[in-house]
Structure 1
Amino acid sequence: MRKSVMLAWAAAAVVATAGDMQVGEFRQHVELAYLGTSGNSDSNTLSALYSNEYQATAMDDIHFRADAYYGDKDGVKTDERYRAHIIGNHHFDPKWYAYAEAGALRNTFEGYNQQYNGGLGVGYMIFDDATQTLKVRGGYQYRYANLTTGDDEDFHYAKLGVNHDYRFNEKTELVSELNALEDLEETNDYEIVFRTALKTALMANFSLKVGFEVKYDNTPVEGKDTTDTTTTVGIVYDF
Structure 2
Amino acid sequence: MNTTTLVMSAALASLIAGAASAQTTAFANDGATAQAVDDLEEQIADDRDRDIGSFGNEGRTVGSYGSVAMRASSTSNDGDTNADVGIGLRYGTYDGVNGFDVTASFKYGQTNGTETENQLLAGVDYRRDFSDAFFGYGKVEASFDRLTTTVGEYEQDVFVGAGLGYRIFNTDDLQWSIQAGPGYRIAEVVGGDTVNEAAASVSNNVYYSLSDVAYITNDTDVIYSEFATTVTNELAVNVALSDTLSLRTSYATKYNDQTDDAFSDAENTFGASVVYNF
Q: TM-score, normalised by structure 2?
A: 0.54
2:131 maps to which of 80, 86, 93: 93
- Distance of 2:106 and 2:274 partners within structure 1: 15
- Distance of 1:115 and 1:100 partners within structure 2: 17
Q: Mark the CA change 1:140 to 1:205 in structure 2 (over 3 Å): closer, same or farther.
A: farther
Q: Can you give the 5+ residue segments of structure 2 that lack an aligned partner in the other structure? A: 1-55, 70-85, 108-116
2:143 maps to which of 99, 102, 105: 105
| Offset at residue 179 of structure 1 (A) | 2.0
> % of aligned pairs identical?
19
| Offset at residue 233 of structure 1 (A) | 4.5
**Is residue 230 of structure 2 the alignment partner of residue 182 of structure 1?**
no
- Distance of 2:120 and 2:249 partners within structure 1: 19
1:18 maps to which of 58, 62, 80: 58
Conservation of the 8 A alpha-carbon contact between 2:176 and 2:206: yes
Q: What value does the CA root-mean-square deviation take over the aligned residues? A: 4.2
For residue 57 of structure 2, give the secondary structure of its aligned residue in structure 1. Answer: helix
- Distance of 2:245 and 2:157 partners within structure 1: 33
- Distance of 2:230 and 2:129 partners within structure 1: 28
Instruction: Give 1:122's aligned amino acid.
Output: L
| Offset at residue 212 of structure 1 (A) | 2.5
The answer to which structure has the higher helix fraction is 2
| Offset at residue 25 of structure 1 (A) | 5.2
**Is residue 234 of structure 2 the alignment partner of residue 192 of structure 1?**
no
The answer to which structure has the higher strand fraction is 1
**Is residue 208 of structure 2 the alignment partner of residue 157 of structure 1?**
no
1:230 is matched with: 269
Conservation of the 8 A alpha-carbon contact between 2:90 and 2:104: no
| Offset at residue 214 of structure 1 (A) | 1.2
Q: Mark the CA change 1:205 to 1:135 in structure 2 (over 3 Å): closer, same or farther.
A: farther
| Offset at residue 191 of structure 1 (A) | 3.1
Q: Mark the CA change 1:148 to 1:232 in structure 2 (over 3 Å): closer, same or farther.
A: farther
For residue 132 of structure 2, give the secondary structure of its aligned residue in structure 1. Answer: coil
**Is residue 210 of structure 2 the alignment partner of residue 168 of structure 1?**
yes
Conservation of the 8 A alpha-carbon contact between 1:111 and 1:221: no
Conservation of the 8 A alpha-carbon contact between 1:87 and 1:100: yes
Conservation of the 8 A alpha-carbon contact between 2:187 and 2:195: yes
Q: Which protein has greater RCO, CA pairs closer than 8 Å, 6+ apart? A: 1
Aligned length: 189
Q: Mark the CA change 1:207 to 1:189 in structure 2 (over 3 Å): closer, same or farther.
A: same
- Structure of higher CA gyration radius: 2
Q: Mark the CA change 1:207 to 1:232 in structure 2 (over 3 Å): closer, same or farther.
A: same
Q: TM-score, normalised by structure 1?
A: 0.61
- Distance of 1:235 and 1:83 partners within structure 2: 29
- Distance of 1:138 and 1:220 partners within structure 2: 25
Q: Can you give the 5+ residue segments of structure 1 that lack an aligned partner in the other structure? A: 1-15, 31-47, 70-78
- Distance of 2:90 and 2:213 partners within structure 1: 20
Q: Mark the CA change 1:221 to 1:115 in structure 2 (over 3 Å): closer, same or farther.
A: farther
